[in-house]
Amino acid sequence: MIIFPAIDIKDGKCVRLIKGEFDKITTYENSPINQAKIYFENGFNHIHVVDLDGALQGKSVNSNIIKEIVRDVSLKVQIGGGIRTIEDISFWLDAGVDKIVMGTAAIENINFLQIACEKFKNKIAVALDVKDGFVTLSGWKKKTNITAIELIKKIKNFGVSRIIYTDVNKDGTKKGPNLKDTIKLSNEVNIPLIVSGGVSSIEDIKKIKSLKLHNIEGVIVGKSIYDGDIKIKELSELI
């Protein structure tokens, strides 16, 4: 199982939100590039990077910082936030990003997602950000009337490389991931799933591993690392 330490970037800094609310934001001392180097030095192979300004504005805002991470740190980077066009995807893949995470653009225009998956095989991931059972968009600000399972059924044959499932109500709370709905989603689709939101301890990660679901590919860990609840060295032992 892949462990993805998270780097969320806003105004050029590492931040974490609680339940996706931008008025509940914590800014951390380490720069995004230094944080990425710490992960690399501790043996991690992958990181999950989100341009939060990009998610809000619908275009890349912190691209220079993210390009620096990709260029200077030998990690497989999956990136989301503000990626809305074929040109955006090409830009990031040419820059050396491993996977492109699409949310708003993919869900508002399913045909665009299908075209992207066909053009960039095994490179497109979908961010499934769910609040109170429904998919959210635009930096979690816009709630749709689409359920997670409805969306998965629509896209299951597109060639999506992975789905990043985040329970927005859990994200940043450190109250444990939503395993009940993770299991439900896993039963609906063969696409690899990444669990995100609420991971609070090493025990949470072991619990996810113990589910032994055929398509759980990994877990994203964010706030618990930054706040020191999960020690990076201890986490790296699970890689």
Give the active site residues.
Answer: 8, 129
Maximum alpha-carbon separation in the chain: 43
Q: Reduced to 3 states, what is the DSSP secondary structure of residue 13?
A: strand
Name residue, tokens 């805002």.
61
Dihedral of CA atoms 221, 226, 197, 79 in degrees, nearest 10, equals -60
Name residue, tokens 């329970």.
167
Name residue, tokens 């990076």.
232
Q: How far is CA 150 from CA 108, 128, 196, 209, in A?
A: 14, 11, 19, 26
- Kindly write down the DSSP assignment for every residue of 140-183, as one continuous string: TTEEEEEEHHHHHHHHTTS--SEEEEEETTTTTT-S---HHHHH
Residue 139's CB is within 10 A of a number of other CB atoms, namely 24
Answer whether 117's CB lies under 8 Å from 125's CB.
no
Distance CA 166, CA 8 (A): 14
